[in-house]
Amino acid sequence: MAKIVGVVTTSHVPSIGGAIARHQEQDPYWKPFFDGFIPVREWLKDVKPDVAVVIYNDHGLNFFLDKMPTFAVGAAPAYRNADEGWGIPTVPPFAGDPALSWHLIEGLVRAEFDPTTCQDMLVDHAFTLPMALLWPDQNWPVRTVPVCINTVQHPLPSAARCLKFGRALGRAIDDYDQDLRVLVVGTGGLSHQLDGKRAGHINKEFDQKFMASLLADPDWATRYSIAELVAEVGTQGIELLMWLAARGTLAGPVRALTSTYHIPISNTAGGIMLMAA
């Protein structure tokens, strides 16, 4: 039976890609964030996952407003990265695991979720950069299943819905009849806002409460509506929904194996957590 070995959650801003390309990992500006991955990489060498299920939000590479899914699940044999408009270097393609994808889709539909299934799919920086942070040689040792949550077009699914989605996804992983070690990754946030007169908004206090809540009380964030969350953490800070869904895949209590929080990376409060049962 498949087993979730742990959940990694992280920020994913495009400029991480630039910093990697320019080898700035040890620059004082970037070091606090990149160093947060050192213990995660050590742990990965130990647990050796077979597959990564990566929950992220597409930023207008694979999806446009003509077909904008609330939840989407990849079911392709491979996933390519591509130019998003800024010329960040692309990364090598990722192997898929279509059999696992279909199993997860089946489980989600049975649990009354309504995913869009994607048998051909490009993955953007929100998928590729966290992978590059976990495996800097970009020689991916895992197969992958991309899972997208809409943060582009309101209405977004509520925090409560995203947590339930994560829980259903976790149950479907647990149900899979193959001997697989599964890493769940959730990418986005933490607080930031790129657009409007409030651009640059950051909310350290809320971010830290949110990070703590993932361990102590994952339902905590569900008391906030989407609008209330945006008010707290910014229009893009809402990407913390990915963290919530990823956390939801682990049933029962979890502990943090490592946790980093650093302001700023680019316009963003950068967070990293590694959780396991």
Contacts to other proteins by CB under 8 A: 13-15, 59-61, 64-65, 75, 77, 82-87, 98-99, 101-103, 105-107, 110, 119-120, 152-155, 175-178, 193-202, 204, 225, 227-228, 230-231, 234-236, 262-264, 266-267, 269
**Residue 45 CB, nearest approach to other proteins (Å):** 28
Question: In the annotation, is 23 catalytic?
Answer: no
Query: Annotated catalytic residue: which of 59, 125, 201, 262?
Result: 125
> Looking at the DSSP assignment, which residues form a beta bridge with residue 191?
none
**Residue 160 CB, nearest approach to a copy of itself (Å):** 8
Question: Which residues of this protein are in contact with a copy of itself, per CB under 8 A?
Answer: 63, 65-72, 105-106, 109-110, 112-121, 153, 155-158, 161, 164
Q: What is the residue whose two structure tokens read 């963290």? A: 243
**Residue 46 CB, nearest approach to other proteins (Å):** 27
- Calpha distance 19→29 (Å, rounded): 10
Tokens of 276: 């396991």
Tokens of 218: 């994952």
Among other proteins, a copy of itself, none, residue 136 binds (CB under 5-8 Å by kind): none
| CB nearer other proteins, residue 194 or residue 276 | 194
Pick the closest to residue 53 from 146, 158, 176 (CA basis): 146
Pick the closest to residue 77 from 97, 92, 103 (CA basis): 97
Question: In the annotation, is 154 catalytic?
Answer: no
Among other proteins, a copy of itself, none, residue 167 binds (CB under 5-8 Å by kind): none
Among a copy of itself, other proteins, none, residue 112 binds (CB under 5-8 Å by kind): a copy of itself
Compute φ and ψ for 238, nearest 5 degrees: -60, -15
| CB nearer a copy of itself, residue 76 or residue 272 | 76
- Calpha distance 264→112 (Å, rounded): 39
Query: Annotated catalytic residue: which of 12, 192, 201, 262?
Result: 192
Residue 56 contacts residue 147 (beta carbons within 8 Å) = yes
| Crossing angle of helices 38-47 and 125-134, rounded to 10° | 80
Please tell me what DSSP assigns to residue 80. Answer: B
Kindly list the catalytic residues. Answer: 125, 192
